[in-house]
Structure 1
Amino acid sequence: MRIETGLTENEVLLYRKQFGDNEIYQKKKNARTIFINQIRQNPLIIVLTLATIISFSVGEKISSIYIFIMVSASIVLGFVNEYNAEQVVSRLLTKISHLVSVLRNGQKKKIEANELVVNDIVFVLQGDIVPADVKILESKDLEINESALTGESMPVEKGKGEELLMGSVIISGFAKCLVIKVGPETNFGKIVQNASFIKPQTDFQKGLTAFGGFLTKLIIILTIAIFAVNFLLGKSLLVALLFALAIAVGLTPELMPVIVTVSLSHGAGKLAKKKVIAKQLVSIENLGNMDILATDKTGTLTEGEIKLTGSIVYDKKFDIIESALHTNPTTGGEEIRGNPIEIAIASYAKEKGLKVDESKEIFEKPFDYTKRASFTVIKEGGSFRLIAKGAPEEIIEASLHKNKKKYLDEFKKLSEDGVRLIAVAQKKITKKTSYSWDDLKGISMIGFLTFMDVPKKDALAALKKFKKLNVDVKVLTGDNEIITNKICSEVGLTIEKDIVIGDQIEKMSEEEFQKIIIEANVFARLNPDHKLRIIDTLKKLGHVVGYLGDGINDIPSLHNSDVGISVDDAVDVAKDEADIVLLEKDLNVLADGITEGRVTFVNTIKYILMSTSSNFGNMFSAAISSAILPFLPMTPAQILLNNGLYDLAQIGLPSDSVDLESIRKPRHWNISFIRNYMVFFGPISSIYDFLTFGVMFYIFHARQGLFQTGWFIESLATQVLVVFVIRTSRTPFFKSKPGKLLTLASLLIVLIGVIIPFTSIGASLGFVRPPALYFIILVVMVLSYLALVEIMKSIFLKKFSL
């Protein structure tokens, strides 16, 4: 291998075989892990399985086999859905590109980062994440951030002969490097192998955990009580235990993880078609919770294609384009990098065939988002010259020129016409070992460069979508307030209050600041610290904040926001930090993502409310009746079959249609609401259960088999069909059209429940054929039950809201 030409293809194969791939093998969920997790996550299943084995060994063979089948079906169902979800995420992540520039066979080419091998020659530039452990061969003005490894956020200068570690971020400059370690052998790889990186729980995950804790306490209390009562009333230890465990399983919403996973997978697939990639499935739900979106205007309110359109030159002794190029980031002849203005200048120069001699540059200060400028010192013969470019206000302020007012008037006039300006200035300077921002004082104007970024035609339509979804859009830009006002007016964005600028923020008290960030929606002349403070304070005030950004300066805000959003052509570190990656920068698809997140939440809540009303009511009825009946109201096998059929009926919930009014604003978990719902609707279900008991005893004089059959069918029909009432807040419920799959699954399961007692399977479970009169009474009871729930729903929703 030669440094001038890089590796040959044969050498690549040799080193890959010798040192391995550049992949860090984090602990991923394989099929075996997922299957084991399905059992571990539900300890009731383990206890029930053990009790079933004991039951089988003492002669209860048929019942035990059925219980075992139902338990196995529950595990398999959960496994299939979680495994599919893992595959969905893996496929989506492949759509996000992570390319690196390498030298192979004498040519520079782009390859995927995981294709790097030891001894590759790799080039890293501003915004790149160092893709492996490397040794610097050449560099210029190289500054890196190693916070991912050391926790230290201050940039560090590096030079020839030093090492860069995988995971470091290039802040400025460029480097040509030799790869020395890849994959698990890198420093970063070893950290990953020995540590688990746990992201903070989202609001949705916290809600699931809180609900799970609430339900677990309830189940434990009921299970112990039911077991104790039945055992004390003379039932055998095994029968009492199996019945108590079956009730516990009946109360457990074991399908909830499946409903959530399928809903999120369904949403991720739909969003991927619209070029929105969720790096984690739960990120979709985070979007749904969002009530504030903070974004720059470039690429969202405008097309994002900033172009250099011309110049206004005051000092004709200097070439303004050449001067500006000297202050662009050094790239070592590599691809164009920098902020949008620097990219526009470099692109213009490339188009015109203009180049500068970078060897003249002895000192470079990259663009500083606080100073809003950059500068370079170049050597010209025996003298030295400082060249600066940046925001006109900053450059003119540093100037001692007598025409300051003229420059400012020109700047304001053109800005009001929608033209973006960048000032370029220069001055002679003495040679020093280092230069600072103070050296800009007394600088002399060369002129202005003019740029244009066309407003997006569909920006107003996208903003209207966000307004309908009750999401406030706040524009956070580094541009001046004049050009910002012009763009906002062109796209139709109403500016609430006045535009707030960064200097004003710094002078505000905390109370004033909190008030203004709620009331105002456009902020200009901001640096990264201003943006971060706005996002952190909005979160502290109880808002769920999304942030859309694509540059290095956006990293703190992407990290701290509830939903970090970036684009596929962003710098690598921005994509790495984001939760959502847009393959196209478009606010319209973000609005679709918010809708998908809310649909997921609403459909999850539907299942929860059903489980805490009719399902809870039925199991509560079973517990009470077991204490007063001479036999069990349903056997453990019958309860598990009932519960299994009920769960299958809900498979259509993730694709169920959702009322528009239920997704107009973000909703959050409210355990007290769920508890109130359970207390309010659970007894209604129990009332109809006891009515069924009365019918079976006093009309049909039923013994054990007929009694259990009658209640099995009634409890299944009521708890399955009540979904059509509970799934909507509309009254009457048929004003809301349910999804086709949910309708088909629900009706089919009820039909299966009616047919089972007429089959040999039903007979083996202890069911008998009910008389015809039973079904007439059943229809009347089901219809009256749904009508009563509908009436009570209206009363409940007037009193409580989610």
Structure 2
Amino acid sequence: MHNSDVTELSLTNPHSQPTSTCLAALDSRADGLTGLEAARRLAQHGPNRLPEAQTRGPVRRFLAQFHNVLIYVLIGAAVVTGALQHWVDTGVILAVVLANAVIGFVQEGKAEAAMAAIRGMLAPRAAVLRDGARTSVDGADLVPGDVVLMEAGDQVPADLRILEARGLAAQEAILTGESVPVDKVVNPVAADAALGDRRSMLWSGTLVTQGTARGLVVAIGTDTEIGRIGGLLAGLEQLTTPLVAQLDHFARWLSFLILLASGLLLAYGYFVGHHEFSEIFMAVVGVAVAAIPEGLPAVMTITLAVGVQAMACRNAIVRRLPAIEAIGSVSVICTDKTGTLTRNEMVVAAAETPEGVFDISGEGYAPEGDITPAGNLDGLARAATLCNDAELRLRDGHWSVEGDPMEGALVAFARKVMDEPRALTRRLDAIPFDARHRYMAVLTEGPAGRVTSVKGAPERVLGMCRDTDLKHWHDRAEALARLGLRVLALAERPETGERIDAATVESGLGFLGLVGLIDPPRPEAVAAVAECRAAGIRVKMITGDHAGTAAAIARQVGLENPGRVLTGAELERLDDAQLALEVSNVDVFARTSPEHKLRLVTALQANGHSVAMTGDGVNDAPALKRADAGIAMGLKGSEAAKEAADLVLADDNFASIAAAVREGRTVFDNLKKVISWTLPTNAGESMVVVLALLAGLALPITAVQILWINLITGITLGIALAFEPTEPGTMARPPRARNAPILSGELVWHVVLVAFLFLAAVFGIFTYAIDRGYPLELAQTMALNTLAVLEIFHLFFIRNIHGTSLTLAAVRGTKVVWAVVIAITAAQFAVTYLPPAQAIFGTRAVSLVDGLLIVGIGVVFFAIIEIEKQIRLGLSR
């Protein structure tokens, strides 16, 4: 029967080959393989599953948190200060480093699991023919050449070429994005047919919704369509976000600059200034610690973590911390259609009878809605529900369908027209739907007698009707189809017999009318698209569905350019350069494959866009992973999509994306505030020490005092900025450019201005104290407190980077801001006035008058930088 010496079994484009050719190419036959041959092929080809994905263990993930240039520098500083037995300094530095690592480990600990999720989609068991008899085997034991038996409700265990089919349909939304089940046939289709048009195939991981079939296994494991997508995921490098990349680059050069400057300062102080080496070394360490924003990684991680909680309240679950910043900076959202912009629930939206055209309102499968204008649709409704195998169920206040989604929509439509259309009727006979005759017929008996009800493709049913204007109704069916509706025709006739067959049914019917079905857009998605467009974000639909349906939904949700549709076949003819030109002008892409989605995302990124990709199917997973921000649907999304994504929407609502963008922009604003607050204060602290060393003056602030001020203010005040609310007008600003530098000219100017104001204020108060004859320790204490006051006033200034800080809301602040300010003030009072702290930090008590003077300096500092900001904002308008 089989040639056991066969080592290569190859079959190209099985969907376009006759079944006999497929059987011959795989050395099989219609009654299946022998058990011995199946075992041999299993040993040759391996099991029907995907390879395990390699993951990092918890130890490696924890150690990876230390892989940062700033952290390396801080660890080096901790080692040096430890060698010099400056244990307080060492403890402070190590505490910051460890806190940063722990936070990063906890928040980013979940390993990549997309491959595992796709593996789980393979069916655990399969019914096959072995030795001519039906038997059940583990899905992993299927081999090329096996003949698998399928029926309604089965999950397809491998890619199958259909050998026999009776009324077969399969739900393929996870691969193609098409809302309704696809009718399957035995006959070959074109070799270049798109995935969704290969009706002679059943795909691994999809679901048989009706009928029975016998299929030949033509691909298993990594060779299946799902396996191929898994291969795309495995070989795909996940992009870092723009901010993370910029911070890494910034940290490297800042660390190099600080180390170089510290080395030159050490050499100058020792060889030119003739300071003691230990003395100058500790002073230089103080400068380095003051200049290095050691709290920045920890505070930024905390800021992102706060954003995680805020997004969770908006039904957006964050899987990777940097994704928060990424979603806030996107300029293009590539969205799937089915289940994302639409409800993934079919509904009858229109009906047309000889009496006229009717609009039907309502949502989902709920049998509630209005029909306008009023008219008699009882006949249409009765036929729609009698010629039907679906049932509606109300569970937990939500209507769902058992059976074909399109038939469920017809039942809901019928219930809107009349109560209990099936009441007092019983089915006598039926002709199931078959792709060959393209209709379904049912004979029922009820109060009005026996009736045959028929539904099917308009061009088929109209030809079965008597006394019908075929051209008129064909034109009307095409008009409904151009609106993106899937059109069915319904007809009926009285019967006297107890049986029906094709020979008698296919003529003499009375035409009832047409119904148009659609997977409608979510109402909130329309508002969300409008909000995204107002925020300068372009929304593009990428779907596996038909071009007409995609264009209709695009118009309804308000995409910018819904009239131009680019199909997968057209994409194939474009090279990367041509695609980069087209992708900017086209907003609707239909009949796309996973590779097409990847190419589109990559082309948009090549044009400088930050791209978010939304989706719910396995076919979306590679593009979700490649995008700057991958967003999966949490309720109806596949596990593969969720695990490949950066964010998961808990409510499957496109409107939550707009809310996530708003939260992401808020998080980025807060990160920018942290950076804008940290860099100038650190620069000001270090410049005070550097100037004193270069000028040969006494240090206005000692190294241990610098460490104290960094510990008490560097992290605490930065954390306060992490909790800042959204500023007004956040969604009215255009997206941040993908290549926008982290150190903009505006930020550099702010760093320079604040640093010099810090320098002038600290040296000014220090000089004032020395001139008044105060002891050096008291003068240094006043300088230390001046630094603390300036940093607090700088915090209130930086809270409003896009508007004025002189408002009641700005002064009122947040609970976190005032809690931190009170805590820092109490800590400074303790350091200044408590004897034990005075002994450790070399401080002295400051008089009330001098304290008020220090606060006055803070007020003047705030006034200067606020006036400068208002001048700058006025010039930029």
Given the two structures, how large is their TM-score scaled by the length of structure 1? 0.68
Matched, 1:652 2:720: yes
Distance (Å, rounded) in 2 between the aligned partners of 1:254 and 1:391: 69
- Cα contact 1:169–1:573 (8 A) shared by 2: no
Distance (Å, rounded) in 2 between the aligned partners of 1:601 and 1:626: 37
The one-letter amino acid of 1:790's match is: E
Deviation at 1:219, TM superposition (A): 1.0
Deviation at 1:265, TM superposition (A): 2.0
2:106 to 84, 89, 94: 84
1:754 to 797, 805, 829: 829
Which residue does the alignment assign to 1:67?
89
Matched, 1:779 2:845: no
Matched, 1:609 2:676: yes
CA distance change for structure 1 residues 797 and 536 in 2, over 3 Å: closer, same or farther? same
1:716 to 760, 768, 788: 788
Deviations 1:496-519 (A, max 9, x none): 456012369669999997676545
* 1:501-580 map, 5 Å: 501-502=565-566, 517-519=583-585, 521=587, 523=588, 525-528=590-593, 534-555=600-621, 557-568=623-634, 569-580=636-647
Distance (Å, rounded) in 2 between the aligned partners of 1:27 and 1:356: 58
Distance (Å, rounded) in 2 between the aligned partners of 1:707 and 1:619: 18
Matched, 1:241 2:294: no
Distance (Å, rounded) in 2 between the aligned partners of 1:355 and 1:143: 34
Deviation at 1:310, TM superposition (A): 11
* 1:377-776 map, 5 Å: 409-415=475-481, 419-421=485-487, 450-477=516-543, 487=553, 491=556, 493-494=557-558, 496=560, 499-502=563-566, 517-519=583-585, 521=587, 523=588, 525-528=590-593, 534-555=600-621, 557-568=623-634, 569-646=636-713, 647-662=715-730, 664-665=732-733, 666-667=735-736, 669-670=740-741, 671-673=743-745, 674-703=747-776, 705-729=777-801, 730-734=803-807, 736-737=809-810, 738-759=813-834, 760-776=836-852
CA distance change for structure 1 residues 697 and 555 in 2, over 3 Å: closer, same or farther? same
Distance (Å, rounded) in 2 between the aligned partners of 1:672 and 1:250: 22
Which residue does the alignment assign to 1:371?
none
- Cα contact 1:306–1:341 (8 A) shared by 2: no
Matched residue SS, 1:294: strand
- Cα contact 1:566–1:580 (8 A) shared by 2: yes
- Cα contact 2:678–2:718 (8 A) shared by 1: no
The one-letter amino acid of 1:170's match is: I
Deviations 1:347-384 (A, max 9, x none): 789999999999x99xxxxxxxxxxxxx8999xxxxxx
1:143 to 159, 181, 188: 159
Q: Which has the larger Rg? A: 2
Deviation at 1:55, TM superposition (A): 2.6
Distance (Å, rounded) in 2 between the aligned partners of 1:505 and 1:342: 35
Matched, 1:37 2:100: no
Deviation at 1:526, TM superposition (A): 4.5
Deviation at 1:86, TM superposition (A): 3.9
Which residue does the alignment assign to 2:301?
261
Question: Which 5+ residue runs of structure 1 have no aligned equivalent?
Answer: 1-21, 57-63, 108-119, 124-131, 145-152, 173-186, 314-318, 326-339, 362-374, 379-389, 397-402, 425-446
The one-letter amino acid of 2:289's match is: V
Deviation at 1:741, TM superposition (A): 0.6
Distance (Å, rounded) in 1 between the aligned partners of 2:294 and 2:89: 16
Deviates more, 1:458-467 or 1:636-645: 458-467
Distance (Å, rounded) in 2 between the aligned partners of 1:609 and 1:85: 24
2:75 to 32, 38, 46: 46
2:242 to 180, 196, 203: 203
Deviation at 1:410, TM superposition (A): 3.4
Which residue does the alignment assign to 2:170?
none
CA distance change for structure 1 residues 706 and 798 in 2, over 3 Å: closer, same or farther? same
Distance (Å, rounded) in 1 between the aligned partners of 2:748 and 2:647: 34
- Cα contact 1:349–1:355 (8 A) shared by 2: no
The one-letter amino acid of 2:770's match is: F
The one-letter amino acid of 1:767's match is: T
* 1:171-250 map, 5 Å: 199-232=238-271, 233-250=273-290
- Cα contact 2:335–2:615 (8 A) shared by 1: yes
Given the two structures, how large is their TM-score scaled by the length of structure 2? 0.62
Distance (Å, rounded) in 1 between the aligned partners of 2:138 and 2:315: 30
Deviation at 1:273, TM superposition (A): 4.2
Which residue does the alignment assign to 1:127?
none
Deviation at 1:122, TM superposition (A): 5.0
Deviation at 1:724, TM superposition (A): 1.0
- Cα contact 2:334–2:539 (8 A) shared by 1: yes
Deviation at 1:218, TM superposition (A): 2.6
- Cα contact 2:529–2:559 (8 A) shared by 1: no
- Cα contact 2:236–2:625 (8 A) shared by 1: no
* 1:129-140 map, 5 Å: 139=148
Which residue does the alignment assign to 1:306?
346
Matched residue SS, 1:170: helix
Matched residue SS, 2:339: coil
CA distance change for structure 1 residues 44 and 486 in 2, over 3 Å: closer, same or farther? closer
- Between the aligned residues of both structures, percent identity stands at 21
CA distance change for structure 1 residues 320 and 678 in 2, over 3 Å: closer, same or farther? same
Deviation at 1:198, TM superposition (A): 5.6
- Cα contact 2:833–2:844 (8 A) shared by 1: yes
CA distance change for structure 1 residues 228 and 511 in 2, over 3 Å: closer, same or farther? closer
* 1:85-164 map, 5 Å: 85-86=107-108, 123=139, 139=148, 142-143=158-159, 164=220
CA distance change for structure 1 residues 702 and 562 in 2, over 3 Å: closer, same or farther? same
Deviation at 1:54, TM superposition (A): 3.4
2:328 to 288, 303, 308: 288
Deviation at 1:525, TM superposition (A): 4.5
Deviations 1:464-487 (A, max 9, x none): 332343322233455566655655
The one-letter amino acid of 1:720's match is: I
Deviation at 1:764, TM superposition (A): 2.3
Deviation at 1:640, TM superposition (A): 0.8
Deviation at 1:534, TM superposition (A): 4.5
CA distance change for structure 1 residues 68 and 555 in 2, over 3 Å: closer, same or farther? closer
Deviations 1:4-26 (A, max 9, x none): xxxxxxxxxxxxxxxxxx98672
Matched residue SS, 1:475: strand
CA distance change for structure 1 residues 604 and 559 in 2, over 3 Å: closer, same or farther? closer
Deviation at 1:85, TM superposition (A): 1.7
Distance (Å, rounded) in 2 between the aligned partners of 1:725 and 1:36: 32
Distance (Å, rounded) in 2 between the aligned partners of 1:199 and 1:485: 31
Distance (Å, rounded) in 1 between the aligned partners of 2:744 and 2:785: 32
Deviations 1:302-342 (A, max 9, x none): 322025899999xxxxx999x999xxxxxxxxxxxxxx999
The one-letter amino acid of 1:744's match is: A
Distance (Å, rounded) in 2 between the aligned partners of 1:74 and 1:464: 44
The one-letter amino acid of 1:753's match is: Q
Matched residue SS, 2:338: coil
Which residue does the alignment assign to 1:442?
none
Matched residue SS, 2:612: strand
CA distance change for structure 1 residues 722 and 534 in 2, over 3 Å: closer, same or farther? same
